[in-house]
Amino acid sequence: MTPTVSASGLSLHFGRTRALDDVSLRLSPGVTGLLGPNGAGKTTLLRVLATAVPADRGAFTVLGHDPATSGGRQEVRRRLGYLPQTPGFHPDFSAFEFVDYVAILKELTDRTARHREVRRVLDEVGLGDVRGKRVKKLSGGMRQRVALAAALVGDPEFVVLDEPTVGLDPEQRMRFRELIARAGEGRTVLLSTHQTEDVAMLCHRVVVLADGAVRFDGTPAELTARAAGRVWSSAERDAGAKAGWRTGTGSFRNVGDPPAGADLLEPTLEDGYLLTLDGAGAEVTA
């Protein structure tokens, strides 16, 4: 199957800071999670793939089009939905007007069909009842959903979501997961997040980025398996653990290289992620 996105050797520097370092990846339909610590280059990678910023080196195609050419970039953008990390709005617009504005920018020119599409995406994100309300009167979670509706309007084939669940309460996050899972049906969704639970629940594939480079690219099960036999329980903090914390039961959950005879525990995706970061030389905090 032809991948939706095929990138090779993407590099980007900000002054002396290396934000992306020879990143190569291929994305196909379904939800792919992008994990990494702060400053790992997740947002930069997403912005490059969303054609919001050009890379210094390397090449990529989206749906067979090369964004390094003017015509190619237009074609990619016609089939792309992008939710940035900090979406901005025109606060005096209603939710409907704002998504309609984005729809016009996405070249949906037939007014009747466009309005139908805007109503559809607003219903899809659960804002059908408040579509006439001004954006500045909406809660943070609702604004985030307006931004998601703006990303999904026009039924794009490739959707880039940059930390869409940040700042949402647990109920809103659950609702967002539902929306993202639905968005991933038949589309290629690239989801950047700090939430390993989001990845475990939503993604068929996960990419771990650290210091601008890909440290892991595989399934969530494969990332979890990296921690097999490397998570254990102990009564006291284990000095040899890469990370360890007291759990609700009072015992310590340790991740790293266990001592002989340790009481091994079932690993989680987060354990695999922490060990992957540790192997990449990133700071492990727990």
Partner 1 sequence: MAQLLRPVARTLPWWTLAAGGGLGLLLAAAPRLTGDGASGGSVPTALRAAALAFALGAAFWLDDPARHTTAAVPARRALRHGLRLALLAPVAALWWTAALLLVPQPVRPPVAGITVEAATALALALTGAACAVHRGDGTRPGPAVAGFLLVTAVLSPLLCPEDWALFVAPGDERWPAAHDRWAVLLGVVLVAGAACLTEPLRRHRLRRLRSPSGT
Q: Binding residues for partner 1, per CB under 8 A?
A: 12, 14-15, 17, 19, 38-39, 41, 43-44, 47, 50-56, 68-70, 73-74, 77-78, 80, 82-93, 97-98, 100-102, 104-107, 109, 111, 147, 150, 160
Nearer to partner 1, 41 or 244 (CB): 41
Q: How far is the CB of 216 from partner 1 (least distance, A)?
A: 20
Q: Could you tell me the sign of the dihedral formed by the alpha carbons of 180, 4, 88, 209, in that order?
A: positive
CA dist 90 and 134 (Å) reads 9
Q: What are the respective helix, strand and coil percentages of the chain, to the nearest 5? A: 35, 30, 40
Q: How far is the CB of 153 from partner 1 (least distance, A)?
A: 10
Nearer to partner 1, 13 or 201 (CB): 13
Nearer to partner 1, 160 or 200 (CB): 160
Q: How far is the CB of 236 from partner 1 (least distance, A)?
A: 36
Q: Among all chains, which residue has been given the structure tokens 């399934």? A: 219
Nearer to partner 1, 125 or 200 (CB): 125
Nearer to partner 1, 56 or 263 (CB): 56
Q: How far is the CB of 114 from partner 1 (least distance, A)?
A: 9
3-state secondary structure of 12: strand
CA dist 177 and 186 (Å) reads 16
**Structural contact between residues 227 and 266, judged by C-beta atoms closer than 8 angstroms:** no
Q: How far is the CB of 191 from partner 1 (least distance, A)?
A: 16
Return the C-alpha torsion angle 95, 96, 97, 102, nearest 10. Answer: 90
